[in-house]
Structure formats: structure tokens, C-alpha cells
Structure 1
Amino acid sequence: MNNIKYLILSSTIDFSTDLVCYRLLSDNKNFYRLNRDEFDKHEIEVDLQKKYMRIAIGNEEYFADFEKLKGIYFRAPVFLRTQSKKELSLNEQLERNQWSSFLRNLIVFRNAIWINNPVDVYRAENKMYQLCIAEECGLKIPKTQVSNSTTNIQMDNEKQYIVKSLDTALFYDTENNREMFTYSNVVKGSELKKYDLRQAPIFIQEFLNPKIDCRVTYVDGKMFPVRIQKNNNGIYGDWRFYKEQLEYIPFNLPENVASSINSLMEKLKLNFGGIDLAYVNGEYYFIEVNPTGEWGWLEIKTGMKISSEIKMALCGEKDYAWRNNSSY
């Protein structure tokens, strides 16, 4: 019988998870990686009386004790965002919903260190909520309105605005057989007024420009900040359009900004997050935090030991003497 100490909940194609698993393997940690796209290869049983979860695959069995499991790395989004390539059958809908609920129910492992607990992820993924908390914690935020109408919004025809979805939106284009992802877009006020928005609300924010985008990868009090630039200049609009063409330059955050980020993450109860900031006219603006954000490419591009920090946090090995240290 194999009693595991750490559980990894992810998918087979998640590169960031690969890096964390490599760190766990290097330290001979006893863990099991359960991928969402491989549930049907396993027998999974949760016994509420004996208080354990049994995972069987082939001739192997693994047991996770409710009281003794030490850590869970949760790389599974709590919202079902991906639109299917075809209309889901009743069986497929049932399968999808029930496994999603199963993942959320794993909060029965109450003694484990979670990165992050799905209850906290669910709350923190709400963009309006996180913006309000960020402002309460002393971070500047862009002027923001959310609406399905531009009728009563004060908007200058000649000014530009950032328009984006309330939540990450993935769609499938059946005509061209491809997946589509929604980015933030820069739209002129006069153009925006022409759109009929009644079907769905959108974020309308002031356009911060010129700016330098910053990504802060936060791991249980430790921050890995990078400036995102191209040819030493900031990026116009959404930098994710050009992700592979950019420079990622580590830097130190000002102490007041780092302190506010610590307060934000503590209030959101998140041990991990990918935080987007915009540096404009000497000020840092909070844009958003993604509780299951990507970071693997940053470790490769910069050499920052993010995976090592996550492993230490997951295994309870962190030294909190530097908790407010904003350096990378």
C-alpha cells in the first residue's frame, strides 16, 4: 500500500506542473499526479468513514489520508470555461459536471497545505471583487465600469478604453476548426457606443498608456516580479498577443507596493497568484490576479526558481524571515 503525502491535481499538458513535479522527484517526495484528462484511467474512491481517498491505476494503489496528506497543488480551474467543439451529450455533460464537483469536494483534506484551496480560488477569480479588495489594500486600480450598456456611462468619443470580458472566455470556431481566446482590446469611445452590449456585460476601463506591463508571480509571501518589454519599450495594449517575442526582466518592487500585494493575497487567502500590474507615470496599477496563472515560461526565460519556491511552500519548508522582502 502506497500512502502518498502530496497530491498534484492538474492536466497532462501543463508545463508549470511538470516543473513542480521535477522538484518533488528531486527531493524524493512521495506524491501522486492526478490529471483531469485521465480520470477515466483510474479507479477513485473516497471513504468518508475511513477518511481516505484511494486511487488505483493498473495494478498500483495509492492512498491519501484525510489527516495525513501534507499538501495539494491545485492547478484545476473552478469555472468551466472551455466551449466544446461539438454539442455535449447528456453523458458528457454529466461527466464534466460531476468531476468538477469532485475536485471542489476535495477540501475534505483540511489539514493539507493548499496551493490554492478551490473555495478561495472560486472567490478570488471574480474580477470585480479582486479589484475592490486591491484598492482597499492600497493598490491603485484603473477607473473601471462594468455594464451591458453604454447609454449611461460617461465616455469621451475621442478617448480610448480597454474592453475585456469579466471572465476568461474560450470559444470554438466550428467553421475554421480552431479554438479562440478573448484578449483585452483597445476601443475608441465613439466606436464602443455603437455596439449593442445587452447580451452580456463587459469591463470598460481607462486606457493606461504609455505603460510598462509587470507580472508578479506570488508564492506564499515571496514575489518574483518581471517587467515585460519589447526592444526596451512598453507594449501597446495586451502583451499576451506577443508573449514569445518579449523580454522578461526581473526587478525589485517598491516596498509599499509589495506590502499592499501581501495584504491583498492574505485577504484573498491565496498562497499563489499571477498578478498583473501596469507601471504608468511612476505609479503601479493593479490589473488582476489569476489564482491558477501560468508561470512556467517565466522560469525558463529568466532562470527564477519559481518551481522550487512552490515545492517548498507545498512541503511546509519555507523560511518566513523574509516574508516582506520584495526582491526576486
Structure 2
Amino acid sequence: MLLVITCTEDVTTNMLMPFLDGVNVFRFNINKWNEYIWDFSDKGFKVLSPDGNLLTSNNIKCVYLRKPLFLEDIDIPKEGCLDNWLRSEVECLWKDVYYDMAKRGKTILVHPRNGWRKHTQMTIAKKYFNVPEWHIIRGKIPEETLSGDWIIKSLTQEKIGKGKIFIAKKVDVTKLDPQYPWFLQRRIKADYDVTSLYVRGKIFSFQLDRSKLTYDDCRIETPLLKWEKCELSKDEEYAIEAFMRETGFEFGRFDFLRKGETLYFLELNPNGQWAWLDLEYKNGIFECIANEIKRVYKR
């Protein structure tokens, strides 16, 4: 049985399911954890889903990590609260299940060892790509950031309050409070946003014309604009392959900027969303992901 660890709002998994013919799927929605019945013991485990599906330590074959998110915000006082404790307990348990399957080589595409975050990614990427100048600072504003245009970004997608997250935007560096941690990147006045989905040696690339954008962060306007398929050069695809070999990733979605003929690396999201690149099922992405799941499932 394939265990998919995710949440109820994961539309990508909903869209993927019809492609998983011949695969027995158990879906664990972490935000609905209290609708499942489970027993983990020295004799193994049994988990019963709300729809009567049974996952056991004997019938589990592999795990695909999607988006295990708690969708409702909670206020966590300094002294803690019961809701946060419950979430932490559930997360800890299901992470253990995931890590245990990883040790046995039974995770699909997204693996726990792939822990490289933006700082390390950008350092490694410099070997293979053009990378805009960047600084992650706190306590003092560096002199070199006081000239030219800079973008402020976030290292994580953690919410900063009232359900809001940081978006990438142009900033006046002199107005930043140095007592806070900041992630700054030199602003590239690019012609295109480029995103490339990598699936174990296969690369699917798309671009978005930035002349149609109002904001620096294309996520604000992406639902209103169309990403078009594009081709990378052989050297650019080789750079992606080399980066993935060094970091150990088998899957991920790259974010780039293109200015003229130059491609700039921004980041790799090791478990990035991808369904929005193939909403009409014409680009082969769903088939590619499904085939990879089946390959591991049938081993």
C-alpha cells in the first residue's frame, strides 16, 4: 500500500489519483488526524482511515510526502497550549513513520536527507549557475547593500502573523531594522521568470513574461497569467543535473530568472507544487510522477 502524507486541501494529490491505476493508496490528512484510529506498538502498527481503509506495518510498501499542513492558525501563548501539543505529538509520530520508511529506501522522490535550504543551495548553485548577490543579515546593514536595488525575501514560508507570509519585494535597505534577521538579494530586472520541474532525470521547463507583471513576486499574479513551455540550453540542463547530483535531490522545482541569455538561480523547492504547470494534463507531468510512484511501489 502507498501511504501519502498530506492534508485535505492538497488538490495536487486529488488530480494525481486517477493516474495511479494499480496502486492501493492510503491517504493520511494530517489536519484531520483525529478522524483516524491508530495503534503503534512493538508488534507493528494499524491505522484505520475515516473511509475504512486500513494501513498496517505489513501492507505499507512506500511513502510519498506531499503537503502535511495544519490549515488553521492557532495562537500559541508563551507557556504553550493543548492544541499545539497535540499537533506536535501527531507530527512527531508521522515523521517517525516517514523516516523509518526512508531508512528502508521506500520514500518516493522527496527524501529526508534532502535538507539543503536556501543558504546552502545558493552556495552550491554558484558552481553551476549565475546567482544574484545575496546577504542574510542581522545586527548590521552591510555597506555593499546600500547601493543598487535589493529584494527582501524570506528563508521560510512561516506565517508572520494574521495568516500573512513574506513576499519578495523591492526594499529601501536603509529603512530596515538591523535587529531583525533579513534575507536580501540583488534585484535582477529580468525578462522572464523560469521554473523547471526535475523528476529523476526528466526536466519540464516553463516561463512567464515579466513585462506583464506589476510586482516583483510573480506568485501574486500567477493565477491571472499563463506560464508557457520553454526549452533550456544543453548547458543549463547539464547545470541542473550537476546540482541535483551534488545535493542528492531526485525531485524539486527550480525557480530562475532570465535576463537576455543569462539564467539566474533563485532556489530549489525540494517538494514544490507542480500541478499548476499541467492543469490540462497535456505536458506529461502527471504521467511522469505517477510512473515514478509505480516504479517504487512495484519493487
TM-score, with structure 2 as normaliser: 0.87
| Alignment counterpart, residue 196 of structure 1, candidates 177, 191, 196 | 177
| Alignment counterpart, residue 46 of structure 2, candidates 44, 50, 54 | 54
Q: Conserved in 1, the CA contact under 8 Å of 2:146 and 2:174?
A: no
Q: Conserved in 1, the CA contact under 8 Å of 2:7 and 2:70?
A: no
CA deviation vs aligned residue, 1:109-158 (integer Å, no higher than 9, x gap)? 123132312342xx12x21011112223x12211111102453331344x
- Aligned equivalent of 1:279: 258
Q: Distance in 2 between matches of 1:55 and 1:86?
A: 30
Counterpart of 1:84, as a letter, is D
DSSP-derived class of the 2:194 partner: strand
Q: Conserved in 2, the CA contact under 8 Å of 1:74 and 1:118?
A: no
Deviation at 1:248, TM superposition (A): 0.7
Deviation at 1:301, TM superposition (A): 5.9
- Aligned equivalent of 2:4: 8
The correspondence of residues 151-230 of structure 1 with structure 2, limited to 5 A, is 151-157=141-147, 159-173=148-162, 179-187=163-171, 191-199=172-180, 201-229=181-209
Identity %: 21
Q: Distance in 2 between matches of 1:119 and 1:261?
A: 19
Q: Distance in 1 between matches of 2:71 and 2:134?
A: 26
| Alignment counterpart, residue 132 of structure 1, candidates 123, 126, 132 | 123
* Structure 1 or 2: more strand by fraction: 1
Q: Distance in 1 between matches of 2:71 and 2:151?
A: 24
Counterpart of 2:201, as a letter, is G
Counterpart of 1:18, as a letter, is N
Deviation at 1:302, TM superposition (A): 7.3
Q: Which runs of 4+ in 1 moved over 4 A?
A: 80-83, 232-236
CA deviation vs aligned residue, 1:148-197 (integer Å, no higher than 9, x gap)? 2453331344x211111121232342xxxxx212100112xxx3112213
- Aligned equivalent of 1:86: 75
DSSP-derived class of the 2:145 partner: coil
The alignment yields a C-alpha RMSD, in angstroms, of: 2.7
Q: Distance in 1 between matches of 2:61 and 2:232?
A: 32
Question: Is the alpha carbon distance of 1:192 and 1:150 closer, same or farther for their aligned partners in structure 2, counting shifts above 3 Å?
Answer: farther
Q: Distance in 2 between matches of 1:317 and 1:97?
A: 30
Q: Distance in 1 between matches of 2:72 and 2:140?
A: 28
Q: Distance in 2 between matches of 1:86 and 1:12?
A: 22
Q: Conserved in 2, the CA contact under 8 Å of 1:84 and 1:172?
A: no
CA deviation vs aligned residue, 1:61-98 (integer Å, no higher than 9, x gap)? 523447x7443210136xx8989343366211211112
Equivalent pairs, count = 292
Question: Is the alpha carbon distance of 1:141 and 1:82 closer, same or farther for their aligned partners in structure 2, counting shifts above 3 Å?
Answer: farther
Question: Is the alpha carbon distance of 1:229 and 1:143 closer, same or farther for their aligned partners in structure 2, counting shifts above 3 Å?
Answer: same
Q: Distance in 1 between matches of 2:215 and 2:85?
A: 43
Q: Conserved in 2, the CA contact under 8 Å of 1:213 and 1:235?
A: no
Q: Distance in 1 between matches of 2:202 and 2:177?
A: 44
Question: Is the alpha carbon distance of 1:299 and 1:58 closer, same or farther for their aligned partners in structure 2, counting shifts above 3 Å?
Answer: closer
Q: Distance in 2 between matches of 1:202 and 1:129?
A: 16
Q: Distance in 1 between matches of 2:8 and 2:195?
A: 25
Unaligned runs of 5+ in 2: none
Deviation at 1:235, TM superposition (A): 6.7
| Alignment counterpart, residue 265 of structure 1, candidates 238, 244, 252 | 244
Q: Which moved more, 1:37-46 or 1:57-66?
A: 57-66
Question: Is the alpha carbon distance of 1:103 and 1:256 closer, same or farther for their aligned partners in structure 2, counting shifts above 3 Å?
Answer: farther
DSSP-derived class of the 1:273 partner: strand
- Aligned equivalent of 1:114: 108
| Alignment counterpart, residue 13 of structure 2, candidates 2, 14, 17 | 17
Deviation at 1:250, TM superposition (A): 0.5
Is 1:309–2:288 an aligned residue pair? yes
- Aligned equivalent of 2:62: 71
Q: Conserved in 2, the CA contact under 8 Å of 1:83 and 1:170?
A: no
- Aligned equivalent of 1:142: 132
Q: Distance in 2 between matches of 1:103 and 1:235?
A: 41
DSSP-derived class of the 2:278 partner: helix
TM-score, with structure 1 as normaliser: 0.80
Question: Is the alpha carbon distance of 1:229 and 1:247 closer, same or farther for their aligned partners in structure 2, counting shifts above 3 Å?
Answer: farther
Q: Distance in 2 between matches of 1:81 and 1:208?
A: 35
Deviation at 1:246, TM superposition (A): 1.3
